[in-house]
């Protein structure tokens, strides 16, 4: 069976070891995690976990059911049409062309967010596939460090 | 009311109606044991190993349908309990295990007898808790029992740091429970049930495939009614023995790796599998692509994750089997049992062609004979527990199980050493029943210390050791698939089982002939002491039929030719 990529949102009680329950489920059952982000949902006692995974359709179905089976899981949202965004920060040497970096970053919904003595930090936020393009484009400015934030998604 | 965390634990157990707790004290759980000492509402059985405590609670739960309770200390007490938790988890047994933990201030410091119990038990419990605040304790205990017995049952661990059991606080045991994230579905979707019922009416060769869920749901009377009404033949998994009843003419037998010919052929030729609380385990299905190849599948299960996990399902029904079968009985009004007559006749021919049989002997005791003989003598009256291996399969094949909860074994995890402590639990839960553990000379030694427990508490269970001086099932595989290289399976060096039982306050019998067996057995059931019946059986007997691992169900080895 062909592997498919899926973005799954899991709404869980914001309690201790809930993230461990989710990740050990993936580890124990041999599922893949491509990226994982988690943060509390404002104004509630819940957290929102966004997991990007891949597997056969049977495996994806199992992942969703097994996630749902965890006692602290309130909801598992899986949708082919999710609006996905990923955030990324890059550190460039100060000697690079700052206006080029500014222009490039703003093309990917970002800009320069910090300038120090010997480096400049740019931040962008865009769809995962565009983030990959940005990383490729950024290579010519000799980035010294790249940090990806992982995908967050919301149902359309 | 103001009380300590330890008192709260006892009060919660009392509120839950717990009558028996199996356990073993130690440093981190001592506060609770101090309160156990002071109360009179429930008894505590001191097993001689924590693993046995958890298996005993498990056997209690399986035989009574109530939640079993075990109590252990931190560190090694807990790690010894892990096999018991995993055993119960794999077979969906309702159980609450309470473990002591080092004080909160020491957690994470590698303190004496500290181990991450919730971390270790996460994959082998339905849910687990580390209590971090005394005020949470009553609700956690309430939830633990509720989660253990509701939905698809399973073991729940509550890990309690020592300072929490010492702390004083207000105790009100919650009357209501509301876990917004946990709402099992019981009812079953009416439209799906209607569609499935229509499929049954149209089928030519339907087959009831009954699993352990039918036992857990106490659905046996309704499933028998369904079979009776429709005259649809049935096969049982290892976990479902007793649901249909051995005398039921619609029961073909057990299917799977050591299933009988008719059952496995029925599954291979059916056009509609009606799965009731079974989970398509690899020991049942054999090669998946050949399993029920010509069939549509109706799958009734309380756990949605079981549906479609291994086999594509045409009619998924999430719900409690009892409730779903009730609806099936209505939806199947007007079904004509004649529809399936030809199918039943085919299966009867298969059964006559290769019945579940063995070749008896006058020179040596055949293990199958022992099982049959116990069945003749005890029938429905006894509760049979077993360990894991050849004896387990022979018991499942040859004992005439007539009711659910009569047959208690570790099906999913396959835990050697399960049978004896489980028998203690079953006997404690069913004092008026004879409890017999059918075991092997390998398995019995894995919890043999329970002889002492059984003697101390006068729990008279009978252990029938089918002694072939081998780790028999592994030896059988070595014979078939490893060119008879008997690597580490020869158990010729043995304890004196009779003397061992006697040394621990029990009774031992050495049995080498059928006559000796009858005499010893009749004596054993009259005793109020734990017994070991050391029965010398044919050394190289094999469990037949056998589907080689990964093979198709219809490719059974029916006999082994040298």
Residue B228's CATH number: 3.40.50.1220
Q: Round to whole Å and give the CA distance between B544 and B541.
A: 9
CB contact under 8 A, A71 and B303: no
A71 to chain B, any CB pair closer than 8 A? The answer is yes
Q: Round to whole Å and give the CA distance between B128 and B118.
A: 6
- Give contacts of A65 with chain B, Cβ < 8 Å: 304-305
Compute the nearest-CA separation of B191 from chain A (Å).
21
- Asked if the structure places residue B562 within a domain, the reply is no
Phi, psi angle pair for B29, to nearest 5°:
-110, 10
- Give contacts of B179 with chain A, Cβ < 8 Å: 71
Q: Round to whole Å and give the CA distance between B84 and B100.
A: 16
Number of domains present in the structure of chain B: 3
Question: According to the model, what pLDDT value does residue A81 have?
Answer: 82
- Residue B82 belongs to domain with CATH number: 3.40.50.970
Q: Say how many CB pairs under 8 Å bridge A and B.
A: 37
Cβ-nearest to B122 among A16, A24, A72 = A24
Same domain, residue pair B332 and B373: no
Task: Return per-residue pLDDT of chain A as tens, 156 residues.
Answer: 789 999 999 999 999 899 999 999 999 999 999 999 999 999 999 999 999 999 999 999 999 999 999 999 999 998 778 899 999 999 999 999 999 999 999 999 999 999 999 999 999 999 999 999 999 999 999 999 999 999 999 988
Same domain, residue pair B521 and B374: yes
Compute the nearest-CA separation of B248 from chain A (Å).
36
Question: According to the model, what pLDDT value does residue B562 have?
Answer: 65
Same domain, residue pair B140 and B282: no
Cβ-nearest to B127 among A28, A58, A71 = A71
Cβ-nearest to B123 among A16, A17, A24 = A24
Compute the nearest-CA separation of B136 from chain A (Å).
13
Nearest residue of chain A to residue B148 (CA atoms): A71
Same domain, residue pair B347 and B239: yes
- B372 in active site: no
Same domain, residue pair B195 and B317: yes
CB contact under 8 A, B123 and A21: no
CB contact under 8 A, B123 and A68: no
Same domain, residue pair B154 and B208: no
Q: Round to whole Å and give the CA distance between B552 and A73.
A: 38
Same domain, residue pair B54 and B160: yes
What CATH class has A4-78? alpha beta
Q: Tell me which H or E stretch contains B375.
A: helix B367-378
Specify the CATH superfamily of domain A83-155: ACT-like. Chain A, domain 2 (3.30.70.1150)
Q: Which of A12, A14, A17 to mutate to test the interface with B (most CBs of B within 10 A)?
A: A17
| Domain termination residue (choose one: B320, B353, B386) | B353
- B484 in active site: no
CB contact under 8 A, A62 and B303: no
Cβ-nearest to A69 among B123, B179, B305 = B305
CB contact under 8 A, A21 and B130: no
Q: Do the beta carbons of residue A113 and residue A122 sit within 8 Å?
A: yes
- B562 in active site: no
Q: Do the beta carbons of residue B156 and residue B142 sit within 8 Å?
A: no
pLDDT tens digits along B513-522: 999 999 999 9
Task: Return per-residue pLDDT of chain B as tens, 562 residues.
Answer: 999 999 999 999 999 999 999 999 999 999 999 999 999 999 999 999 999 999 999 999 999 999 999 999 999 999 999 999 999 999 999 999 999 999 999 999 999 999 999 999 999 999 999 999 999 999 999 999 999 999 999 999 999 999 999 999 999 999 999 999 999 999 999 999 999 999 999 999 999 999 999 999 999 999 999 999 999 999 999 999 999 999 999 999 999 999 999 999 999 999 999 999 999 999 999 999 999 999 999 999 999 999 999 999 999 999 999 999 999 999 999 999 999 999 999 999 999 999 999 999 999 999 999 999 999 999 999 999 999 999 999 999 999 999 999 999 999 999 999 999 999 999 999 999 999 999 999 999 999 999 999 999 999 999 999 999 999 999 999 999 999 999 999 999 999 999 999 999 999 999 999 999 999 999 999 999 999 999 999 999 999 999 998 999 999 999 887 6
- CA angle A3/A4/A8 to nearest 5° reads 130
| Domain termination residue (choose one: B303, B331, B353) | B353
A20 to chain B, any CB pair closer than 8 A? The answer is yes
- Asked if the structure places residue B561 within a domain, the reply is no
Q: Round to whole Å and give the CA distance between B485 and B478.
A: 6
CB contact under 8 A, B309 and A21: no
CB contact under 8 A, B308 and A58: yes
Q: Do the beta carbons of residue B56 and residue B425 sit within 8 Å?
A: yes
Identify the three-state secondary structure at position A81.
Answer: coil
- Give contacts of B130 with chain A, Cβ < 8 Å: 16-17
- Asked if the structure places residue B306 within a domain, the reply is yes
For residue B98, CA distances in Å to B6, B38, B74, B413 come to: 11, 18, 10, 21
CB contact under 8 A, B181 and A69: no
What predicted TM-score, i.e. pTM, was given to this entire model? 0.96
- B2 in active site: no
Task: Name the burial class of residue B1, with classes exposed (0-12), middle (13-18) and buried (19+) by CB atoms within 10 angstroms of its CB.
Answer: exposed
- Asked if the structure places residue B133 within a domain, the reply is yes
- Asked if the structure places residue B297 within a domain, the reply is yes
A69 to chain B, any CB pair closer than 8 A? The answer is yes
Nearest residue of chain A to residue B180 (CA atoms): A74
Phi, psi angle pair for A74, to nearest 5°:
-90, -45
Compute the nearest-CA separation of A17 from chain B (Å).
9
Same domain, residue pair B502 and B420: yes
- Give contacts of B131 with chain A, Cβ < 8 Å: none
User: Given B113, B139, B195, B516, which residue is catalytic?
Assistant: B113
Question: According to the model, what pLDDT value does residue A156 have?
Answer: 84
Same domain, residue pair B160 and B212: no
CB contact under 8 A, B305 and A62: yes
- B244 in active site: no
Same fold, A4-78 and A83-155: yes
Same domain, residue pair B324 and B373: no
A76 to chain B, any CB pair closer than 8 A? The answer is no
Q: Round to whole Å and give the CA distance between B251 and B180.
A: 41
Domain boundaries, chain A: 4-78, 83-155
CB contact under 8 A, A17 and B126: no
- Give contacts of A61 with chain B, Cβ < 8 Å: 308
Nearest residue of chain A to residue B146 (CA atoms): A71
User: Given B16, B35, B50, B541, which residue is catalytic?
Assistant: B50
Q: Who contacts A139 (Cβ-Cβ below 8 Å, separation ≥6)? A: none
Q: Do the beta carbons of residue B534 and residue B497 sit within 8 Å?
A: yes
Nearest to B232 by CA among B317, B336, B314: B336
Compute the nearest-CA separation of A152 from chain B (Å).
22
- Asked if the structure places residue B21 within a domain, the reply is yes
Nearest residue of chain B to residue A10 (CA atoms): B181
A2 to chain B, any CB pair closer than 8 A? The answer is no
- Asked if the structure places residue B177 within a domain, the reply is no
Q: Do the beta carbons of residue B101 and residue B467 sit within 8 Å?
A: no
Same domain, residue pair B386 and B514: yes
Question: According to the model, what pLDDT value does residue B351 have?
Answer: 96
Binding-site residues on chain B for chain A (CB distance < 8 A): 118-119, 122-123, 126-127, 130, 132, 147, 179-182, 303-305, 308-309
User: Given B90, B244, B276, B473, which residue is catalytic?
Assistant: B473
Cβ-nearest to B147 among A17, A62, A71 = A71
Compute the nearest-CA separation of A134 from chain B (Å).
39
CB contact under 8 A, A16 and B147: no
Range of the domain at B205: 190-353
| Domain termination residue (choose one: B307, B327, B353) | B353
Same domain, residue pair B371 and B449: yes
């Amino acid at each position: 069976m062909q592997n498919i990529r899926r973005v799954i949102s899991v709404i869980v009680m914001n309690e201790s070891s809930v993230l461990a329950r989710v990740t050990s489920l993936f580890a124990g059952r041999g599922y893949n995690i491509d990226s994982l982000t988690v943060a509390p949902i404002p104004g509630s006692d819940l957290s929102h976990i966004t997991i990007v995974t891949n597997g056969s359709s049977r495996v994806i179905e199992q992942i969703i059911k097994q996630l749902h089976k965890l006692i602290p899981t309130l909801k598992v949202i899986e949708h082919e049409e999710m609006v996905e965004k990923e955030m990324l920060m890059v550190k460039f040497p100060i000697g690079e062309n700052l206006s080029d970096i500014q222009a490039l970053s703003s093309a990917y919904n970002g800009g320069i967010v910090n300038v120090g003595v010997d480096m400049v930090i740019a931040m962008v936020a865009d769809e995962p596939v565009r983030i990959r393009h940005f990383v490729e484009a950024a290579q010519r400015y000799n980035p010294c460090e790249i940090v990806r934030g992982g995908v967050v998604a919301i149902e359309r | 009311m103001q009380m300590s965390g330890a008192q709260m634990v006892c009060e919660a157990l009392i509120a839950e109606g717990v009558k028996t707790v199996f356990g073993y004290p130690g440093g981190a759980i001592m506060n609770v044991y101090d309160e156990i000492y002071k109360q009179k509402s429930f008894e505590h059985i001191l097993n001689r190993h924590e693993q046995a405590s958890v298996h005993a609670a498990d056997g209690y739960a399986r035989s009574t349908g109530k939640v079993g309770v075990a109590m252990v200390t931190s560190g090694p007490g807990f790690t010894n309990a892990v096999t018991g938790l995993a055993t119960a988890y794999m077979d969906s047994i309702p159980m609450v295990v309470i473990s002591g933990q080092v004080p909160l201030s020491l957690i994470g410091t590698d303190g004496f007898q500290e181990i991450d119990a919730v971390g270790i038990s996460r994959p082998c419990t339905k849910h687990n808790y580390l209590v971090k605040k005394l005020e949470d304790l009553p609700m956690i205990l309430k939830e633990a029992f509720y989660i253990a017995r509701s939905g698809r049952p399973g073991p729940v661990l509550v890990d309690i740091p020592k300072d929490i059991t010492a702390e004083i606080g207000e105790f009100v045991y919650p009357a209501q429970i509301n876990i917004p994230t946990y709402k099992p579905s019981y009812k079953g979707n009416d439209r799906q049930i209607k569609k499935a019922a229509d499929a049954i009416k149209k089928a030519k060769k339907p087959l009831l495939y009954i699993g352990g869920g039918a036992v857990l749901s106490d659905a046996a009377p309704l499933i028998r009614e369904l079979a009776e009404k429709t005259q649809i033949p049935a096969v049982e998994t290892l976990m479902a023995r007793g649901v249909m009843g051995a005398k039921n003419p619609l029961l073909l037998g057990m299917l799977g790796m050591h299933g009988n010919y008719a059952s496995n052929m029925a599954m291979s030729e059916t056009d509609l599998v009606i799965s009731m609380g079974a989970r398509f385990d690899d020991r049942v299905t054999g090669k998946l692509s050949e399993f029920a190849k010509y069939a549509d599948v109706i799958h009734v299960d309380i756990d949605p994750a079981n549906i479609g996990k291994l086999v594509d399902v045409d009619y998924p029904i999430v719900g409690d089997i009892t409730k779903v079968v009730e609806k099936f009985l209505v939806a199947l009004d007007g079904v004509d049992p004649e529809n399936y007559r030809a199918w039943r006749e085919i299966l009867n021919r298969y059964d006559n062609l290769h019945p579940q049989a063995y070749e008896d002997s006058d020179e040596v005791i055949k293990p199958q004979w022992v099982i049959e003989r116990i069945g003749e003598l005890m029938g429905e009256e006894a509760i049979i527990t077993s360990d894991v291996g050849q004896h387990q399969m022979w018991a499942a094949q040859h004992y005439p199980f007539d009711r659910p909860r009569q047959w208690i074994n570790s099906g999913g995890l396959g835990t050697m050493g399960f049978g004896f402590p489980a028998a203690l639990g079953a006997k404690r839960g069913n004092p008026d029943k004879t409890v017999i553990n059918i075991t092997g000379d390998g398995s019995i030694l894995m919890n043999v210390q329970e002889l002492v427990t059984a003697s101390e508490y006068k729990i008279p269970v009978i252990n029938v050791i089918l002694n072939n001086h081998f780790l028999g099932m592994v030896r059988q595989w070595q014979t078939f698939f490893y060119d008879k290289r008997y690597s580490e399976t020869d158990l010729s060096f043995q304890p004196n089982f009779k003397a061992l039982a006697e040394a621990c306050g029990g009774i031992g019998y050495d049995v080498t002939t059928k006559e000796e067996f009858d005499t010893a057995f009749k004596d054993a059931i009259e005793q109020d002491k734990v017994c070991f019946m050391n029965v010398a059986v044919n050394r190289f007997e094999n469990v037949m039929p056998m589907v080689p691992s990964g093979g198709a169900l219809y490719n059974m080895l029916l006999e082994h030719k040298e």
